[in-house]
């Protein structure tokens, strides 16, 4: 059944909704620098309508740092998950992974900073529970040098792991946590605050890191991958415009 029809059917008859969205590439188009990923006012307005609905619990889960993510979305009544869900805050929920040690990340940051002069154009972004090495600005012939630096830091720091994204290495505490685990945590907590009755769960994302959530929520959620990549999600949509159509449909079904 086409996605929007399925959504209409599932959301009929008073069901509640827990919806989790990735940010970059899902709610905002992919842009050449992370700073330029700005939420369109119309999308923010639709998200706000949804977030205000009694029947909806809305979350945004991203590899971005929690405060960066909050500032970009800037809506109340939303649950935010930063650093791939190592930190979660919003709507009276608060979580910080108990085994994630900020000191490990601070030490990783220092090691990376020491190595960075060897690769002009590379940049570090410190997010508290993660540190991101951005190498979009590095000349392609030096990318192997970036890889070597990342590998050597990882060899020395056994308590740290890395997630590779689009021209980034995201260094995080190695605590066995990912978007899938975080999404499950969020769904459990958010669903329990909805009025009694049937609860529809939805997760949409565009990245490999979102695949952990598609798998974790396989039997629980309507899962949507944005983009043409093979996926474990039940549905694929082409791009951010399709997500916007989805949001509008959800808002007209659920928001006053
Ligand atoms: Mg994304």
Per domain, the residue ranges of the chain are 3-97+177-254, 102-173
13 pLDDT tier (thresholds 50, 70, 90): confident
Residue 158, classed as helix, strand or coil, is coil
Q: Phi, psi at residue 169, to the nearest 5°?
A: -120, 125
Q: How far is the centre of ligand 1, averaged over its atoms, from the C-alpha of 69 (Å)?
A: 12
Confidence of residue 192 (pLDDT cuts 50, 70, 90): very high
Distance CA 174, CA 179 (A): 14
Q: How confident is the model at residue 32 (pLDDT cuts 50, 70, 90)?
A: confident
Angstrom distances, CA of residue 44 to CA of 24, 202, 223: 14, 18, 21
* 210 CA from centroid of ligand 1 (Å): 8
219 CA distance to ligand 1 middle (Å): 22
Q: How far does the centroid of ligand 1 lie from the alpha carbon of residue 38, in Å?
A: 13
Report which of residues 36 and 19 the model is more confident about. 19
Cα of 166 from ligand 1 centre, angstroms: 10
Computed over every residue of the chain, the mean pLDDT equals 94
Tell me how far the alpha carbon of residue 152 lies from the centroid of ligand 1, in angstroms. Answer: 27
- Report the predicted TM-score, pTM, of the whole model to 2 decimal places: 0.95
User: Same CATH fold, 102-173 and 3-97+177-254?
Assistant: no
Q: How far is the CA of 59 from the centre of ligand 1 (A)?
A: 14
Give the Å distance between the CA of 65 and the centre of ligand 1: 13
Q: CA 194 to CA 54: how far, in whole Å?
A: 8
- Rounded to 5 degrees, φ, ψ at 115 are -85, -20
- pLDDT tens-digit map of 83-114: 999 999 999 999 999 999 999 999 999 999 99
- Reply yes or no on whether the pLDDT at 255 is more than 90: no
Tokens of 128: 């508290």
End-to-end alpha-carbon separation of the chain, Å? 26
Q: What is the mean pLDDT of residues 31-35?
A: 82
Query: Hey, what CATH class is 3-97+177-254 in?
Result: alpha beta
Distance CA 215, CA 51 (A): 25
Q: What band does 256 get if pLDDT is binned at 50, 70 and 90? A: low
Residues contacting 21, CB < 8 A, separation 6+: 27, 58, 59, 60, 61, 203, 204, 205, 243
Fold annotation for 102-173: Alpha-Beta Plaits (3.30.70)
212-230 pLDDT, tens digit per residue, is 999 999 999 999 999 999 9
Looking at residue 14, its pLDDT comes to: 85
pLDDT > 70? residue 234: yes
Q: Residue 201 C-alpha to ligand 1 middle, in angstroms?
A: 19
Edge-to-edge, what's the strand order for the sheet holding 93-96?
A: 93-96, 87-90, 78-82, 56-61, 16-21, 199-205, 222-226, 235-237
Per-residue pLDDT tens over the stretch 144-184 = 999 999 999 999 999 999 999 889 999 999 999 999 999 99
Residue 199: predicted pLDDT = 95
- The alpha carbon of 127 and the centre of ligand 1 are apart by a number of angstroms equal to 17
Q: If you measure from the C-alpha of residue 198 to the centroid of ligand 1, how many angstroms do you get, rounded to a whole number?
A: 29
């Amino acid at each position: 059944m086409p996605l929007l029809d399925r959504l209409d059917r599932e959301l009929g008859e008073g069901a509640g909704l827990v919806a989790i969205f990735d940010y970059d590439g899902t709610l905002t188009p992919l842009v050449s620098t992370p700073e330029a990923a700005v939420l369109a006012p119309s999308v923010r307005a639709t998200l706000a309508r949804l977030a205000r609905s009694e029947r909806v619990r809305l979350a945004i889960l991203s590899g971005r740092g929690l405060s960066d993510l909050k500032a970009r979305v800037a809506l109340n009544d939303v649950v935010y998950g930063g650093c791939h869900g190592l930190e979660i805050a919003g709507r009276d929920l608060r979580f910080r992974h108990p085994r994630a040690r900020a000191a490990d990340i601070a030490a990783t940051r220092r090691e990376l900073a020491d190595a960075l002069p060897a690769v002009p154009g590379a940049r570090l972004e410190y997010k508290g529970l993660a540190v991101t090495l951005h190498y979009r600005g590095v000349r392609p012939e030096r990318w192997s040098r970036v890889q070597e630096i990342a590998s050597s830091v990882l060899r020395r720091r056994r308590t740290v792991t890395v997630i590779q994204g689009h021209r980034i290495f995201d260094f995080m505490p190695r605590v066995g946590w990912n978007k899938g685990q975080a999404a499950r945590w969020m769904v459990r907590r958010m669903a329990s605050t909805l009025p009694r009755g049937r609860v529809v769960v939805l997760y949409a994302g565009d990245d490999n890191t979102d695949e952990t959530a598609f798998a974790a929520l396989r039997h629980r959620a309507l899962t949507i991958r944005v983009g043409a990549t093979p996926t474990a999600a039940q549905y694929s949509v082409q791009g951010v415009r399709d997500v916007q159509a989805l949001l509008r449909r959800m808002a007209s079904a659920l928001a006053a």
